[in-house]
């Protein structure tokens, strides 16, 4: 095993003891029997564990845990689960646990006593827990910026959401769409706000009105199907539907079929969030890959860096995305228009 990747958790698993026992044994603190301490140190030496000074400072007089606050609707969405797994993996590199915070347990006092720092993902202005978390007395890193009036976070990791939607709108236009529509997420997160604003600004720049329909932040496929069906019935000229909420595009495809539209030909479909629901449909759906596991890892890494003194407070880091083009935005529509 590469010495640079060996963590306290690796040593704990190999030695058959808890992570806290490993920490105490290696630091000579706590009530650890001599035999256990000797065994832990022998295992650490065998694995090549090398504690770094930053990690020691991070864990000194600490709880050994980070708190993770997700949007209330997040538990059923692939995006946030993958993000959480990424954050956990990065925290483990520092020998830290991650505690998922329930909305009811977000008061600043209890949180500050249980964790060394907080990750607050897609904070909503309307989420009453967020101001207390930002003012909890521990470093806070947000995934996307917080648009509310409370105390700012210690750091943030952000995506260029305006650029990703612009890329989708440009893409469907290049493939022949002349009347695009956006199923935009409701709410006051930076992501939702950026998508709605970008649809309006892109339309103004290109002289094309983007038909905007607002759906819940975590819209179900059924909700997306109902909204898309009503959109296509009211505005048959719509020839591209971009669906924002994670996991809801199967509903868009069902609505298209019900209205006699051929996805990838006379109706292009794309998604602002890639995932199982976009890759596994027929046809597969063009989508923005926000790389959620890497995003969660980046958020946890920034928080660990701030805690350990490797990064300054108020640090903002960018997170990259990519456009995954699939059959749902096939070029047959563009060829037909070119022939005309």
Q: What angle do CA 165, 169, 173 make, to 5 degrees?
A: 165
Q: Tens place of pLDDT for every residue, the chain, 340 residues?
A: 444 467 777 888 899 988 778 877 876 655 678 888 889 889 988 888 876 544 554 544 478 899 999 988 777 789 999 999 999 999 999 989 999 987 654 444 567 678 999 999 999 998 888 988 988 888 999 999 999 987 778 899 999 999 999 999 999 999 999 999 999 999 999 999 999 999 999 999 999 999 999 999 999 999 999 999 999 999 999 999 999 999 999 999 999 999 999 999 999 999 999 999 999 999 999 999 999 999 999 999 999 999 988 898 889 999 999 999 999 998 543 333 333 3
Model confidence, pTM: 0.79
The single residue listed with the structure tokens 């019900």 is 258
Which residue(s) pair with 322 in the sheet? 289
Q: Which of 184, 198, 19 is nearest to 93 (CA)?
A: 19
CA atoms within a 13 Å half-sphere pointing along the CA-CB vector of 58: 29
Per-residue tokens: 37: 């301490």
Find all residues with CB under 8 Å of 101, minimum gap 6, and list them.
Answer: 67, 68, 69, 111, 118, 133
Q: Report the distance separating Cα 50 and Cα 315, nearest Å.
A: 27
Q: Give the helix/strand (H/E) hosting 91.
A: helix 78-93
Instruction: Kindly provide the b/e burial profile for residues 36-45, where b requires at least 16 CB atoms within 10 angstroms of the residue's own CB.
Output: bbebbbebbe
């Amino acid at each position: 095993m590469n010495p640079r990747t060996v963590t306290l958790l690796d040593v704990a698993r190999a030695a058959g003891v808890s992570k806290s026992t490993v920490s105490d044994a290696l630091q000579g603190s706590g009530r650890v029997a001599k035999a256990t301490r000797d065994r832990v140190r022998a295992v650490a030496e065998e694995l090549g564990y090398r504690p770094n000074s930053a990690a020691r400072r991070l864990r000194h007089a600490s709880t050994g845990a980070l708190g993770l606050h997700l949007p209330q609707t997040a538990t059923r969405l692939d995006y946030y689960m993958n993000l959480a797994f990424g954050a956990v993996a990065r925290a483990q590199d520092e020998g830290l646990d991650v505690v998922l915070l329930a909305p009811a347990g977000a008061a600043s006092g209890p949180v500050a006593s249980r964790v060394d720092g907080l990750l607050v993902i897609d904070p909503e202005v309307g989420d009453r827990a967020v101001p207390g978390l930002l003012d909890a007395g521990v470093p806070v890193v947000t995934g996307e910026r917080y648009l509310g009036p409370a105390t700012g976070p210690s750091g943030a990791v952000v995506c260029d959401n305006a650029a990703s939607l612009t890329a989708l709108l440009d893409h469907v236009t290049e493939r022949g769409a002349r009347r695009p529509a956006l199923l935009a997420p409701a709410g006051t997160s930076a992501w939702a706000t950026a998508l709605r604003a970008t649809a309006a600004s892109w339309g103004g720049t290109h002289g094309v009105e983007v038909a905007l329909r607002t759906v819940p932040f975590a819209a179900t496929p059924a909700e997306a199907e109902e909204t898309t069906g009503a959109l296509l019935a009211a505005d048959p000229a719509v020839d591209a539907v971009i669906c924002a909420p994670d996991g809801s595009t199967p509903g868009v495809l069902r609505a298209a079929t019900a209205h006699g539209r051929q996805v990838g030909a006379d109706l292009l479909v794309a998604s602002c969030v890639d995932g199982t629901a976009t890759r596994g449909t027929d046809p597969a759906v063009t989508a923005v890959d926000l790389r959620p596991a890497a995003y969660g890892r980046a958020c946890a890494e920034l928080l660990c860096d701030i805690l350990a003194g490797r990064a300054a407070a108020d640090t903002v880091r960018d997170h990259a995305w990519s456009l995954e083009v699939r059959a749902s935005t096939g070029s047959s529509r563009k060829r037909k228009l070119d022939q005309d």
